[in-house]
Structure 1
Amino acid sequence: MTISLSKGQRIDLTKTNPGLTKVVVGLGWDTNKYSGGKDFDLDASAFLLHEDGKAKSENDFVFYNNPSGGTGSVTHTGDNRTGEGDGDDEQIVVDFSLVPANIQRIGITVTIYDYEARAQNFGQVSNAFVRVVDASSDREILRFDLGEDFSTETAVVFCEFYRQGADWKFQAIGSGFAGGLSALCKNYGLDAQ
């Protein structure tokens, strides 16, 4: 049975799901009736964060042009440039058993590609969600529907996974940023140049 979370809620992942080591993080969205003439290209990314809450290098930033990080523990499965169709638009695979010991949190984010030139923002996006699926059984463990709380934001932190002792937990975040990917990179300690 899938657990539906609200913004800010936290849940034990590995403690309440014994044997869970690898998850597929599915992210999806639809666009509102928008006639700007250009497709919406939303991009999922993962930031692997150290104890100070910051990423330290390119290896700590996983996205379509750097599809693997954290010594292979986090993998982006590919770029969907239109968001067409039902289900997950992009996926990130996290293998908790391979996450380096110095990584304490993994932030899962979505940004709008080329938002300035296309005059696009998350106010034009609807039905955004993140879901976590057990990779071994294909069973959906949890889901967080973001709702329609955004207007001019061009980047959103959907959720974070974080360590507590030997266990991993999940937090539904739903926090928006103006400034797209560069704002997220700055927030997480990376230079987006």
Structure 2
Amino acid sequence: MAISLQKGQKVDLTKTNPGLTKVLVGLGWDTNKYDGGHDFDLDAAVFMLGENGKVTSEKDFIFYNNLKDAAESVVHLGDNLTGEGEGDDEQVKIDLAKVPSNIHKLAFTVTIHQAAERNQNFGQVSNAFIRILNEATGEELIRYDLGEDFSIETAVVVGELYRHNGEWKFNAVGSGFQGGLAALCTSFGINI
């Protein structure tokens, strides 16, 4: 039975699941009725952060144009351009045992591609979620359903996996940003 979280809640991942090293992170969303004439292309990304909350290099930004880190500890399974269908819209495989020791946190984000040009924002998105599954069994371990409390934001930090006393924990963040991917990149130390 998956643990369902509220915004701001933190929960153990590896302590309560001994031996767990490989997880699949699924992110999903639906778009509300929208008649702007453009597809709604949401993109999931992972920022691999050092102790200071910043990436150590641009290679620590995992997204549709950089699908994996050098250690292959974080592997993005590809871009979904429309978000059509049920279930996960985009997925990321994480091998916790391979995450480099200088990486303290994995921040999972979703942004709207060309949000400003297309006049789109997260107020037009519903049923957004992040879930963490045991890759070996497919069992859903953690789920965080984002509320409908975004209106003008074009980027969201959905959640984060972080190291704590030798274990991995998950934090349900749900924090919105204006300025899309550029704002997130700046926040996490990437110059664009």
TM-score, normalised with respect to structure 2: 0.98
- Distance in 2 of aligned mates of 1:93 and 1:191: 26
Residue 71 of structure 1 pairs with residue 71 of structure 2 = yes
Q: 1:158-173 to 2 correspondence within 5 Å?
A: 158-173=158-173
The residue that corresponds to 1:111 in the other structure is 111
Q: 1:10 to 1:58 in 2, by over 3 A?
A: same
Residue 19 of structure 1 pairs with residue 45 of structure 2 = no
- Distance in 2 of aligned mates of 1:160 and 1:3: 15
- The SS at the match of 2:103 is coil
Q: Which runs of 5+ in 2 are unaligned?
A: none
The residue that corresponds to 1:182 in the other structure is 182
Matching residue's letter, 1:147: G
The residue that corresponds to 2:140 in the other structure is 140
The residue that corresponds to 1:85 in the other structure is 85
- Distance in 1 of aligned mates of 2:124 and 2:58: 30
Is contact 1:48-1:70 (8 Å) kept?
Answer: no
- Percent of residue pairs identical: 61
- Distance in 2 of aligned mates of 1:31 and 1:164: 35
| Count of residues in Structure 1 that have an aligned counterpart in Structure 2 | 192
The residue that corresponds to 1:47 in the other structure is 47
- Distance in 1 of aligned mates of 2:70 and 2:178: 27
Matching residue's letter, 1:78: G
Q: Which runs of 5+ in 1 are unaligned?
A: none
The residue that corresponds to 1:62 in the other structure is 62
- Distance in 1 of aligned mates of 2:4 and 2:54: 28
- The offset of 1:71, in angstroms, is 1.4
- Distance in 1 of aligned mates of 2:56 and 2:186: 11
TM-score, normalised with respect to structure 1: 0.98
The residue that corresponds to 2:8 in the other structure is 8
- The SS at the match of 2:110 is strand
- The SS at the match of 2:81 is coil
- Distance in 2 of aligned mates of 1:2 and 1:169: 14
Is contact 1:22-1:134 (8 Å) kept?
Answer: yes
| CA deviation string 1:42-72 (max 9, x = no partner) | 0000000001010021221000100001511
- Distance in 2 of aligned mates of 1:183 and 1:70: 25
